[in-house]
Amino acid sequence: MLKDSPIGQRGKQPSIDDNVAGILHSINIDEVLCRQEDLAGGPVKSSTLTPQTINLFVPLNPAVEDRHLRKERLSARRRYLLFLVMPDQAQQKLWTDSFMLDPQMAYYRAEELSRGVVPLLDPTADNSSLPQPHVLER
């Protein structure tokens, strides 16, 4: 499940005009395949693999300086494999001070922005076994 909410700058309400400063994607995580600490070679803790809802915040400005890195684009009717990173506390504080975000919440970004968002193919009635991205085979 995905819910998108426009986010305004602190002191300004977001509207259909030009004062939307970012998009907050509330995403229901169906399954966690791997966490950063799992790559260290230790045992995977099943309690850390609990499905949850996360907040992915995509500020619209300033524009991404590297034109090859596009911002995360998600659609409510799609499923994705997400490679998420949590920005450090300084970035989280900057966002909550600058934007209308709850300072008690944690906000994520996709790894290398749009590169961390891999759309998955949804099976259809005609083809129930669509090939998925190769990264899922690993």
Query: Percent of the chain, pLDDT > 90?
Result: 22
Mean per-residue pLDDT of the chain: 77
Tens digit of each residue's pLDDT (9 = 90 or more) over 21-80: 889 999 988 888 777 666 666 665 554 545 588 999 998 876 555 555 678 888 887 888
Considering its fold, how many domains does the chain have in total? Answer: 1
Q: Quote the pTM value.
A: 0.73
Task: Give the pLDDT of residue 138.
Answer: 54
Strand segments (E) across 10-90: 20-28, 53-59, 79-82, 84-85
Q: How many CB atoms sit inside 10 A of residue 131's CB?
A: 9
Task: Give the pLDDT of residue 47.
Answer: 46
Q: State which H helix or E strand residue 54 sits in.
A: strand 53-59
Task: Give the pLDDT of residue 26.
Answer: 92
> What range defines the domain where residue 67 resides?
2-137
Sheet with 20-28: list strands edge to edge: 2-8, 20-28, 53-59
What is the distance between the alpha carbons of residues 50 and 95, in angstroms, rounded to a whole number? 27
